[in-house]
Chain A
């Protein structure tokens, strides 16, 4: 058998015996060759036997298994959604930029509002963080 799969002679060796699997533009020529050539018919029979072996590896979709795997996937993703900042995405908290601006503004706030920090008032710190996060969000 020719070793170049581009040739008609090797359509069977590449795609097997089922004409539905053959490239449409090569189907007629291959079928003609099967009618004319005994060696081609032998090659077809061999391809058909290998197809039968391959078809023996059947994997039917099991609806219960698919449902279980699907639900596990959705649960895993839902858990991640709670755990990271993705849920904030549509609100407009660009990750990285938000953190960078928060750090920058916190530094600036420390310089400007050093007194409340120095005195350690919880309310002052809270206000400062709140304003920083608010600015970081927009």
Chain B
């Protein structure tokens, strides 16, 4: 389907381009927003990704990488470039946010939870963050994540394990109350 649309895009078919963009934009945008933590950066990255899609259509070789793997790899690489130009997020922001969450953790969907988790993800090492976003949020398999990250599925499992461990450590260190207590059933 994607490859058929790409062929049409290569012939200058605007409807095919529109179909490809509408098919992949939601995930690309979501992925970029979680990886950069910034909605407007995510929109620019999504735009650049789609422009690259359009440019590659003329030379796309179906026997190469899967189209969606290629597309998500471009998205991830653009996010990495963008993140490397920005200053590192510190844990101070998480602690500050956590203190305002104290006592409210049980209501996980509280207003500031998005911000708290965004900051936690930003504090993770780059590869752990990417693996976690692709695996947990985008529900890609370890093999798919490995292809996007150009590594092995085993390495992805290690990144996921260490990423989750690091998140638990950060939540504890930041004093997010209630996160490590037994859930009420």
B: contact size bracket = 35 or more
CB-CB nearest in chain A for B18: A74
13 A-B residue pairs with Cβ-Cβ distance under 8 Å, sorted by A, are: A3-B161, A5-B160, A21-B136, A21-B139, A49-B179, A49-B180, A50-B167, A53-B167, A56-B110, A56-B116, A70-B25, A74-B18, A81-B12
In the complex, whether A8 has a CB less than 8 A from a CB of chain B is no
Q: State the A residues within 8 Å of B (CB).
A: 3, 5-6, 10, 13-16, 21, 23, 45-50, 52-59, 61, 65-66, 69-70, 72-74, 76-78, 80-81, 86-87, 89-90
Residues of B2-58 whose CB lies within 8 A of A: 10-12, 14, 17-18, 21-22, 25-26, 29-30, 33-34, 43, 46-47, 50-51, 54, 58
B22 cross-chain contacts in A, Cβ below 8 A: 66, 70
Q: State the B residues within 8 Å of A (CB).
A: 10-12, 14, 17-18, 21-22, 25-26, 29-30, 33-34, 43, 46-47, 50-51, 54, 58, 108-110, 113-114, 116-118, 120-121, 132, 135-137, 139, 142, 154, 157-158, 160-161, 164-165, 167-168, 171, 176, 179-183
